[in-house]
Amino acid sequence: MQGSEFLSELAPAALKLIQPHLAKVDLARGIVLARPYSKIDTAYFPINVTLVVDIELATDASFSTGLIGRDGLLGAGMALDDRVCLYSVTVLAAGSAYSIPIEKLKQLLLEIPELRKRALAYEQYFLAQVQQTAACSALHELPGRFSSWFLRLRKYAGDELNLTQSDIAQMLGVRRTSVTDCALELQRAGAIDYHRGAISILNKRKLEKASCGCHAEVADHFSRLFEESFEPD
């Protein structure tokens, strides 16, 4: 299935059953696809859109716990057991996705064992991603966390990232001034080019060297669950 790594890994027979129910949609940056304690009526298989998952705190602050890109989907767990969403999901980098009504996805998950198995594995991977992010936020310094997040973003959105200081500060749960200091440090090291509203990743290896290692751990979780490389390049 062109663009969606999640769907492309399914056998042709399974895809044949799913394809008639998919609609390709364009999702603009900033669109909110899910809100805390709400049900969603549409599930999404990203093609080249990047979704960010945020946990909202009682203090009205929030921080990001995970990303959903072309190797995943939004809505599998909610389709299987009719539960509400506990977090917000927003389009971080605009792009396209395949959409499907949540009720139809529920039906297909019950009818197609291969789809259900992969969806449950992705739910497990996403939980591992959230847990890794929580541990990273508690234990690691900002430059390492910054680098890990941007390595993960690179996987889904490429080397050119249109993100404001506020976007990055919210993702990492820090002040904008801290983001500026960190970005300038990585720019001096030749890992990124940082200017207002955009970050260009110039050297993946240098960014990996600056990383706290959590990106590698997340990639390892994916590889173990799916027996596929998280990042073939």
pLDDT of residue 121: 93
**SS3 of residue 62 by DSSP:** strand
pLDDT of residue 226: 86
> Which letter does DSSP use for residue 38 in this model?
B
Band of the pLDDT at 72, cuts 50, 70, 90?
Answer: very high
Rounded Cα distance between 29 and 18, Å, is 27
The full set of domains in the chain, from first to last, is 5-115 (2.60.120.10), 141-211 (1.10.10.10)
What angle (nearest 5°) sits at the alpha carbon of residue 37, between those of residues 31 and 41?
Answer: 55
Task: Express each pLDDT in 204-215 by its tens digit.
Answer: 999 999 999 898
Tokens 């999640």: give the residue: 6
Residue 72 tokens read as 């995943």
For 5, left (φ over 0), alpha (ψ -120 to 50), or beta?
Answer: alpha
Mean residue pLDDT across the chain? 89
Contact 134, 65 (CB under 8 A): yes
**pTM score above 0.75:** yes
**50 or 64, which is more confident?**
50
For 175, left (φ over 0), alpha (ψ -120 to 50), or beta?
Answer: beta
pLDDT of 233 higher than 70: no
> What average pLDDT does the segment 166-174 reach?
85
Task: Express each pLDDT in 7-53 by its tens digit.
Answer: 999 999 999 999 999 999 999 999 999 998 888 999 999 999 999 99
Contact 50, 156 (CB under 8 A): yes
Task: Express each pLDDT in 79-131 by its tens digit.
Answer: 887 778 888 999 999 999 999 999 999 999 999 999 999 999 999 999 999 89
